[in-house]
Amino acid sequence: MTLFNVTEAKRLASGFYPDPTICEKPTGGYYMVNSSFEYFPGLPVWESDDGEHWTRVGNAMDRASQFPYDSMDNNQGIYAPTLRWHNGLYYLIVTNVNRGNMILTSADPHQGWSEPIWVEGWPGIDPSLFFDDDGTVYICGNEGGGPDEDGNIEPAGIYLSAIDPDTGTVLTRRRRICGGITGSNPEGPHLYKREGTYYLMWAEGGTESGHMENIARATDPFGPYDMYPGNPLITNRSTHLTLQAIGHCDCAHFEADRTLMVFHGTRNNDEYPAQGWVGREPYGVWFDWADGWPALADQSYDTQLVGDGQANEQAVAWVTPSIDEDGRFMVISGGSDGNDGSEGGTASAITIDARPHGFDLSHGPCLIGTRQTDVRFGFSATLVNPKSLEIGETGVTVYANSRHYMVIAAQAAANGTTTVEARVYNAGLVTRLGSVRVPSAPALTFRVEGDERGYRFLVSSADTDGESVLDEAPGKVLSFSNAGGFTGIILGLYAHGLGQVAFRDIAYRAGR
């Protein structure tokens, strides 16, 4: 490919909000929804008047009844939604990998979403709906390796059937309509129609450096499909651009002269090989048409690694990995109480009932946190009374998954003092960065700073002068290339042991 075909892309939201799907509102403007994987509340919903400036309006999945599972682990949960509007309802189809494919509906996303309508007999992930103008509704998605209706193993590819979206009933036999170009993980398909022609868009090449988006067209939704000669439509593979792993597109105004396309990508630093850890974020671009195809071919996009450098406090949206069924985490913000996942302000208070478990999810959520949305940031929280923890440790974590995370932790008080230590956990390898002993009586303030290189850990006490710097840790430990996974970084609070701890003055500051 050539590097001359590079333009700037507009980042629509910061932090891990992958797999964007976009839908036009009948009154003008747009909604966008993203994957949330194991985190609850899930399926974040955004709104925009112009497709460029977006406001968070809530979560489509905000009740435990919408998110059933028998067990939960990292990178499970909710995959790749598709949002469409039809006859007064928004239809949101999505995969719960712990249960199956399902549809949520809403007449007004500001007012909440329905209980799940389960799509029985439709295996695989990344489902999408298409409402044809003859009244037929189609479901497409990717699958490979599972049995078909006759018990034969289905080859990898994109499959299509007719469906009743109000009952979840699949009406016709599944048919494989596309195997992709490279044959490597064709996924995230969407079906559109323009001037009587059906267009199929899908991602492939995996979710990392080989990620790309392709397009094909046909006169019948079941094909045969003709591949676009300019494929891949977009990709940043084999480049050293800041923006990497672009793909998983969805479009609005597909039938118009100019089409709005959203996709996700990761911001990477200048090291070699490049490292990114904030998460897959949504971007938006407009494209024109030429000769019945998008006027894009092997198109690359780039972005800035950091923002404008201005420091400003931001509101935080609390999430937990899996559902807090025991009510261990209580968010107190703006004078009102809320359970896990409550929308908090820049200065919140949280109480946590400690449990004698670590960072795995086999016993429920291990932390409560908010997304890291900036490469350069500061996150701080004050532990009100270190003596309230009887056994174990409590503090702040920079969390990618249960095997890759960092902590600044206060041990349970002993003999009038508390030991505070910063550690890095890397697939079983534990690195102790630094520690300090402080009096147990006053409150302790933990602070984490982030930049292009990684993270810096600091602690202060009312009885000590200034802050103690415990050390720094490279962010590459939590990068996709090392930690793997589909999410991003959570800045969290935790308490593992026995007792109830309280944090106050919790703040996230973007930029430095």
**pLDDT tens digits, one per residue of 422-437:** 999 999 999 999 999 9
Burial (Cβ within 10 Å: 0-12, 13-18, ≥19) of residue 472: middle
Q: Which residue has the higher pLDDT, 206 or 388?
A: 388
State mean pLDDT over 55-64: 96
Q: How far apart are CA 345 and CA 432, in angstroms?
A: 32
Extents of the domains making up the chain: 17-228, 312-510
pLDDT confidence bin for 97, thresholds 50/70/90? very high
Is residue 334's pLDDT more than 60? no
Cα distances (angstroms) measured from residue 502 to each of 104, 161, 471? 36, 52, 25
- What's the pLDDT score for residue 312? 59
The model's pLDDT over 182-201, given as tens digits with 9 standing for 90+, comes to: 878 899 999 999 999 999 99
Give the position of tokens 């497709």: 51
From the options 3.30.70.580, 2.115.10.20, 3.30.470.30, 3.40.640.10, give the CATH code of 17-228. 2.115.10.20
Answer whether residue 169 shows pLDDT above 90. Answer: yes
Asked if residues 105 and 91 have their Cβ atoms less than 8 Å apart, the reply is: yes
- Which tokens is 68 given? 């059933």
**Residue 347's pLDDT band (boundaries 50, 70, 90)?**
low
Is-contact 96 115, C-beta < 8 A?
no
416 CB contacts (<8 Å, ≥6 apart)? 439, 440, 441
Catalytic residue list = 19, 187
312-510 to CATH, choices 2.60.120.200, 1.10.630.10, 1.20.1250.20, 3.40.50.720: 2.60.120.200
Contact assessment for residue 269 and residue 452, using Cβ atoms and an 8 Å cutoff: yes
Q: In which region does residue 263 sit, left (phi positive, over 0), alpha (psi from -120 to 50) or beta (all else)? A: beta
The 3-state DSSP class for residue 147 equals strand
- The residue that leads in pLDDT, 286 or 207, is 286
pLDDT of 256 higher than 70: yes
Q: How far is CA 448 from CA 13, 148, 352, 379, 408, in A?
A: 22, 50, 20, 5, 8
Mean of pLDDT values over 323-338? 76
Q: How wide is the angle at C-alpha 198 spanned by C-alphas 197 and 199, nearest 5°?
A: 120
pTM for the model stands at 0.94
Q: Is the pLDDT of residue 417 over 70?
A: yes
Low-confidence winner among 11-25, 343-357, 484-498 (lowest mean pLDDT): 343-357
Question: What's the pLDDT score for residue 19?
Answer: 98
| Coil/strand/helix, residue 64 | helix
Compute the residue count for the chain: 512
pLDDT band, very low/low/confident/very high, at 314 (cuts 50, 70, 90):
low
The share of the chain scoring above pLDDT 70, in percent, equals: 94
- 488 by DSSP, 3-state: which? coil
Strand, helix or coil at 148? coil
Q: Using an 8 Å Cβ cutoff, are 354 and 389 in contact?
A: yes
